[in-house]
Structures are given as structure tokens and as C-alpha cells.
Structure 1
Amino acid sequence: MSERYVVAIVGATGAVGQKIAEKLVERNFPYSHLKLLASKRSAGQQLDINGQSYVIEEATPEAFEGVNFAFFSAGGDVSRQLAKEAVARGAVVIDNTSAFRMDPETPLVVPEVNPQALQNHKGIIANPNCSTIQMVCALEPLRQQAGLKKVIVSTYQAVSGSGAAAIEELKKESHQLGIEQPNPQVLPVKSQPKHYPIAGNLLPQIDVFEDNGFTFEEMKMMNETKKIMELPSLAIAATCVRVPVVTGHSESVYLETETELSYEEIIQLLSQADGIVVQDDPANQHYPMPLYAENTDPVFVGRIRKDPNEKTGIHLWIVADNLLKGAALNSIQIAEKMIELNGVSK
């Protein structure tokens, strides 16, 4: 990595944007210059990164002149407005929103799973949904060995996935428990008329409901998994639930492989996979938990069990920091893999 790159972060004041900046420094990403971009409202503010003060600039088309990599994490509308403007000025866009994920022209990439998809990009690479990323990381080593024919997943997703306002709502309601009636304004979906408390509660709705009864979040997991793993006919269903946890998504996954794997083979395959840490020692109550996954990079897998009724059935419990591997870290790993494969030429 002798070449140096000009890097822009769109949405630099948000939780994911700040994590991207932190990880760029931590991983010694080869940037020569860092541009922090945000809304006009935030322009002129200063952010400190690695002891250096940066002035936030307004995200405009002209702001991408000379940029090599542009990490977008400011919402789908911003990505739809500015991503192609950045590409037109020579940048490779790595987008953290759902704006381009199902676009057939846009690669949807988890580097441990489908790095080959990067070869076909046209300037924009989509970062998958946070829950999708951690699940496919755990599924891929098993699929490579034994195939994959069915997945049923239930998620337990942290409120940080809904942004800073949801975190504040959880904290406020937690203090109100047993003292006063909460007045929820954000969850499950801020734009919808009904809101429910998250403290002491579970919300079986993440995003809006589709006509088929699944939420948009659930459909994202289902469709993105098929695209990333290049399994268009995969039988997959998801139920996504918001839980009163600040950071760290958890998932209960049942899968069926095409050929049978022993418990020992499952452990070996997962233990040898990049980015996976196996925590599976029930006798000593050792298993993944979101509290201990926060601010860490790996995808943790535990509670590994062979299904008692289906010989190819496997149960997994998967946990990861949704702001890191689920967003910021995966984005940077995409850029690192691009440099490793063929630089940033389009």
C-alpha cells in the first residue's frame, strides 16, 4: 500500500461516519488527505480525529473533486443525490445505505464472502445491511464446504441501528421505568403514527411493513443474502426485532446444508474463517453477547448445535458490533480489498 488516497466521509458527524474515521486511523488506511462532509447545517464545525482537527465541509458535488474513495453514511436520499456526482468526479463510492444494494449494476460486498464482485463495479459499491453482514460471514464457510439450502433467522437488533435519537430514547425510558409513563417518539419507526417504548420491551418491527407482512428490514436481509451469496433460489425467511441494547446485534440462525456436517467440522470451519471468533463452551457458560462484542471487530459465533430432527440442520447464535463489522469496518475492508485487487480504477 505505497500509494496514498484522498478519502471523503459523507455523514462524518453521524455514529457510523465517526466510526469510519476512527477505523481509518486504527487500520493505517493509506490516505493522504481526509475530507469530512456533512449537511450545510454542520459545515464549519470541527471534529478531532487522531489528534488532528478537521473542519467539516458541506457535501456538494464539487466537494468530491480529487477524491479517490468516498464513504457514504448520511441516509439514502443523500446517497441518491450525490453518489453518482462523486463517481463522475473520479471517486469510488462505498455506500452504507440501502439506496443501491439491490441495483443489479451495483456490487453488494462482504469481503470475506464475495470479493470477486468488486471486479465488476461501475463506481459504486454497496455495503449490506448490518444484520446481513454478520450472518453471511458465518454462513459462508459452511456453504463452501456443504452447500446451503435453507436459512431461518430471528434478529435481536440494538437501538443504535436506528441512530442517536433512538439511543437517547432508550436511555431516557430506562430512567423512567417504574417512575413515570414514557412518551416514545422514535421507535419502532419515527415517521409512522404509532410509537412504543423500547426500555423493558421488544419491538417486532424494524422499518415499515411490506404488502407480504414482512418488514423492509426483513426483506433486506432475505434479498441481500441471496445476492451476496449468489443463491437466488435460497429458501430464507427473517424476523427482525428491536431490543433494549445500545450496540451489538444478535441473531438466532437455523440453516440446512446440502450435505451433512458434524459438530466437529462446523467448529473447525468457523474457527478457521477470517473474521470469525467461535465462543462455544456451554459447560462454562461461554457464548457470544452484545455487551462484550461492542467496540470489537469480529463476528462471534456460539450456541452451535446440530438440529435433533434434521440431519443437515444447524443452529447458530451470531453476535457483532453493528456499527463496526455491520457498517464502518466492512466499508473500509471493501476499500482495502479493492486496493489489494486492482487499485481504484473503474
Structure 2
Amino acid sequence: MTSKLPSYLNLKYLYLDPSLSTTNPILQNVKKHLPDIKILPLSSTQSYQPQSLILKKFKGKFLRFCPGTRYYNCCGYKIIHFGENCPLNCTYCILQAYFQDKTLKIWANIDDLFQELDKTFKTNPNLRFRTGTGEFTDSLVLEPLTGYAQKLTNFLQNYSNVRLELKSKVADLSWTNGLHKIDHILPAWSLNAPEIVKKEEKLVIPLEERLRAAQKCVSLGIKVCLHFDPIIYYPNWEKGYSKTIEMVFDYLKPEHICYLSLGSFRGMPELFHTISQKHPKSTYIYEEYIYGLDGKLRLFLPLRLKMFSFIVKKLKKAGLKDQIYYCMESDLVWEKTLGYTPIKLGGLDKHLEKLSFNNLL
């Protein structure tokens, strides 16, 4: 079975929380697909072998707010926190600075997750929840091993006040198996310019495969979400991002897109240091960056405005309208490039909530 897995999922060691049952469904899935994996007991003091996965009983809150900042407009979605770290090793990944421990982790006590979600969603039946799992890991990258997304999407079929965004760079659609309804799911893919995909996303599937997966979801009757984040400044960036936008509309129509985000590369100074050490050929970190109000380094504002204006113009010409939004940008950027601020939309969180609950074709 291991031959069917991508190379980054051919793991050798599994560190297992002793408090988890041997019949745990996540554990059983991992053992099924990696029958030769060496299982070791998890302790709080050990260091981990390379090519390892940790299955742990999580004791905190699974449902939490996006870690935005009051200085910029945040989309306001709720994170369903089910694990940490990602094996795709994209050079720009902000998780490199978030977590000192790079080992893949999955919170295997999925019944506790379901109990928390059930209580929250049923206690607030008149509230709408736009949620997602792609904040601290890729939503689907471990799906061949764990089946987590399939279990979660099946569970959430019974909650009409919830939408779940599965944000990914892989094309695994196995989560659709067995679903009798699909209107609660927002399939989402991260996109970038072809040159960035080739040089900075070396373990990730090509853009064409992501867009074919999006096209397949559309054929099932639901809209998809797209994310150009991080947009990276590099020589001939106009040609690269134009090419990707053309590809999007080779596979999708404007009405197939629920929403599309734009975000420029940004991060705390330690992220830039990590990239310089781990990925010395990644030269985009040496462009013109300044400190933003949130303490993160951001591309110099005139350059951001130039890139955003160019991309927005292309997207609008292709037929997108109010589906475009910015991830963590100021009112000034919105006004200069889109001609309005989130207030005109009724607030960014409310606007995206409205789009999310209108996701059927």
C-alpha cells in the first residue's frame, strides 16, 4: 500500500499517545496504509525521528478564531484545529516560524472534536459558522493516511448552519465518498504563478491537477474557493500570474467560484531567516520589505498595490465581481485596488458568510 502514497507520506515512525485506544479509527487508517510503520510510545520529553507522525489526544479547544490582527481586515472564519505541520515543504510556508517542532501531528481523539462541535453548533442554531481546517496544516495532505476530512465532512452533514472550507494544494477528493449531501463543503485550492510553483512548491502537484480537482467538485454541484496567497514579487511576475489566471478560467467559469482571496507574501522576521537558511535559492525574500502594523514584514506598499491592481484587473476582466477579497490588508489597499472597503460589503466576515451559504450551483 505504501507504493500508492506520495513520497512525503512514506513515514517510518508513528509516535502514539498511550491514552488513545488501539481501536482508534485514525490509528487504524494509518496502520492500514503503512503496515510496516514502527509504533513508539509518545512522551513529553523525547525527540522525534525524521519521517515521523504523532497521533495525540488533544486537550484544548478544537474550534478557535483565526489568528488575525486588529490592524488589518480579517476574514473572520473559525478554525477547526485537527493537527499541525505539513510535509509539502513549500519554501514560503509560515508554519516554519509558527512551530519549532516540525513533526507532523494529528489530534486523533476525533470523538472529542465531534462532541465539541455538536455542542457549539446546536447551542447556537441561529448563528452561521464558516469554518476551515487549513490553517495549521493542509486540509487534505494527510487524507490518504488518516481519512480525517471524510469523517469530518460526514459528521457535518447534519448541521445546516455550518460551512467547512477544505483548503489544500493536493487533489485528494476521497472525502466525497459516501456523502449524501455536499452543500456544507467549500473545496478550496491555493494557486500561484507557474514559476513559483516550480521553484518554491517542489513537492506540490501541478496547477492543472488542482484545477481539475476544482472542476470535478463543480460537476458535483458546488462552488469552489481559490486563494492566491502568498503572491510573490519576482522578475516577470506579470507574465506568471497572468498565465495562472488564464488557466483558472480554462477550467472554471466565474459563477463556479464562491470566493477568491489575494494575499501578498508576509511574515515575522524569523520566517525570513528560516527561509534563508533552509532554502538558500529562494531569492524573493530579498525584495523590498517593510514592517507592517502587525510587526510582520510586508512587500513595500507601492509594489503591493502594483501587483494587486494588475491581478484584480485580470480577474475582473474574466468576470469575477465581489468574490474577490484580501487576506489581512488595510482599507487603503481595498480602496486603491477594488474601489471600496469591507464596510461597503457589510463587513468582510458577513460578506464571506453570505457567499459561503450560497455555494450551490
TM class by smaller structure: 0.3 to 0.5
TM-score normalized by the length of structure 1: 0.33
User: More helix per residue: 1 or 2?
Assistant: 2
